[in-house]
Amino acid sequence: MSKTNSPTVNLDDLCARIDAAQVYGLARRTPTEYAPKLSKALGRDIWFKREDLQDVFSFKIRGAANRISGLNDDERARGVVAASAGNHAQGVAAAARHYDTQAIIFMPITTPPIKVAAVEAMGAATRLTGDNYDEACAAAIAHANATGAVFVHPFDEPEVIAGQGTVGKEILEQMPRTPSAVYVCTGGGGLVSGIGAYFDRHAPQTQVIAVEPAGAQTLGAALKAGGPIALDNVDGFADGVAVRTFGALTYQICTQVVDQHMSVTNDEICAAVRDIFEATRTVVEPAGAVGLAGAIKHIRSGDAPDGDLVVTISGANVNFDRIGHMVDRAEFGAGEEMLFAATIPEQAGAFLNFVRALGQRAVTEFNYRFADSAEAHVLVGLKTRDLTDRAQVITDMAAQNINVTDLSHDRLAKRHLRHMVGGRGDNQPEAVYRFEFPERPGALTQFLETLDARWNISLFHYSNHGAAEGHVLCGFHVADDDIGALEAQLGGTGYPMARETDNPAYGFFLRG
């Protein structure tokens, strides 16, 4: 992205606010640490800005502390209100307790109980409402308007941005030399705005790079539209940065101070979580690893500048039940595991030929069931050294006349198919769809009640890994001329969906 010279926000004023920010009554000066092992592996000097070491495990305490420290006596008597599913909630609760004011935090119904308990342990009251941040935020604003409580926005107001900007100030104070680039995890834009503004005025030669999850690119959407625009669907995997709309104020700042915008996949994020663990022995939440995932992606593509690269490690509020899923996906993100479908003749000796073609590679999973007298389809998980080795697997298979389809980036295959191989449907016409259900009681009932009873459910698989959304694969017996009516009703459920009937993985293993 290219910066604009439009003076929409006074950056000198914002930097003065950063210099004067009242954050250290609550926030720590976290270290900027060199990562020697990772630096050697990547051929770049990588530095971690360790915001996971804050008492609430996130940089969000900085913005909340600075905003609430500036309340007058009348405002403190009215109390504060906020909306958040995690890190901002804990920051506001801690700051409200420190400055002796009452806090009410509106949280989505899907918020894990451990996060609700953490907020309540700091003395704040919680209100669970809505299926996502936007619905909780609307309720919080309505409560503030009705009661006179002060609404503390998680990213889109000057004092919050100034508090987050102290991260950038500390990086420049702590680094032995000016870094070439800083990669910043980006959701609503408060952190990247604050860091970017400070670097723009004090280290303009440093590239400020905003990194977003591929399924939650609010800044990317805003840049394309020429201003903040709501996303139709938001992937909540990296929930700490999964917002629907970029901030209006943060957008104005970012167009002045951010040099590049990029996105990373969930698998790349999980691989970065593992890299952080191996460097620090800390398990960060997915949002906390987004910056490093971006730096690694740039290094591997040749787009990272030479010199020191700083990444923000933004949070360690990870649910324990998500760790296994992240471990599983990390190897895909690092190119160290491959999931593929192979088609071999259903005849004597074919299976031995296939195993020989695998060579000495370690197999992580193997799924097969007889389905046809002419061809057999095998689903295989394989350990690989890197992304180049994946291509070599396909080459080796082709040399043995074995056709391979790489499913390593196929969400249906990774989330559902690997747990379902072995059962095929009958010969009735079938349509298959992938959904995201809010992880709350009654979601499935609501889904089924929306549908006309004339469509029989022919396939159903659900998985959840501690996120706010559960992933569902659902098949229906439906004639081709009735698909339009079915999809109209499915759209009425309000759940994000994607048609998967033509997905090759479905065709190989599940289609009748």
Report pLDDT digits (tens) over 154-181. 999 999 999 999 999 999 999 999 999 9
DSSP string of 221-240, one letter each residue: HHHHHTS----S----TTGG
Do residue 38 and residue 86 come from a single domain? Answer: no
Do residue 105 and residue 165 come from a single domain? Answer: no
- Domain of residue 351, CATH code: 3.30.70.260
The residue range of the domain holding 65 is 61-151
Do residue 269 and residue 286 come from a single domain? Answer: yes
Residue 414 is assigned to a structural domain of this protein: no
> Of the given ranges (64-78, 236-250, 349-363), which has the lowest mean pLDDT?
349-363
Q: Tell me what pLDDT residue 275 has.
A: 92
Residues tagged active-site = 60, 314
Rg (CA), the chain: 25
Q: Is-contact 64 313, C-beta < 8 A?
A: no
Report pLDDT digits (tens) over 450-494. 777 677 777 776 655 555 667 778 888 889 999 999 998 888 888
Whole-angstrom distance, CA of residue 283 vs CA of residue 323: 8
Strands (E), 157-199: 181-185
Residue 404 is assigned to a structural domain of this protein: yes
Q: Is-contact 290 269, C-beta < 8 A?
A: yes
Q: Tell me what pLDDT residue 327 has.
A: 65
Name 355's Cβ contacts closer than 8 Å, sequence gap at least 6. none
Report pLDDT digits (tens) over 391-443. 888 888 888 888 888 888 887 887 777 776 666 666 788 899 988 877 666 66
pLDDT tier for residue 260 given thresholds of 50, 70 and 90? very high
Residue 384: alpha-carbon gap to chain centroid: 25
Do residue 285 and residue 400 come from a single domain? Answer: no
Q: Is-contact 474 432, C-beta < 8 A?
A: yes
Instruction: Give me the helices (H) in 175-287, please.
Output: 190-202, 218-225, 248-257, 266-280
Q: Is-contact 290 319, C-beta < 8 A?
A: no
Do residue 169 and residue 285 come from a single domain? Answer: yes
Number of domains in the chain: 4
| Residue that terminates a domain, selected from 117, 151, 185 | 151
Do residue 361 and residue 460 come from a single domain? Answer: no
Average pLDDT, the chain: 86
CA dihedral of 287, 279, 464, 461, whole degrees rounded to 10: 120
Do residue 461 and residue 312 come from a single domain? Answer: no
At residue 85, does pLDDT exceed 60? yes
User: What is residue 44's DSSP assignment?
Assistant: S
Do residue 386 and residue 294 come from a single domain? Answer: no
Whole-angstrom distance, CA of residue 292 vs CA of residue 136: 30
Does this model's pTM top 0.95?
no
Do residue 373 and residue 425 come from a single domain? Answer: no
| Residue that terminates a domain, selected from 319, 343, 376 | 319
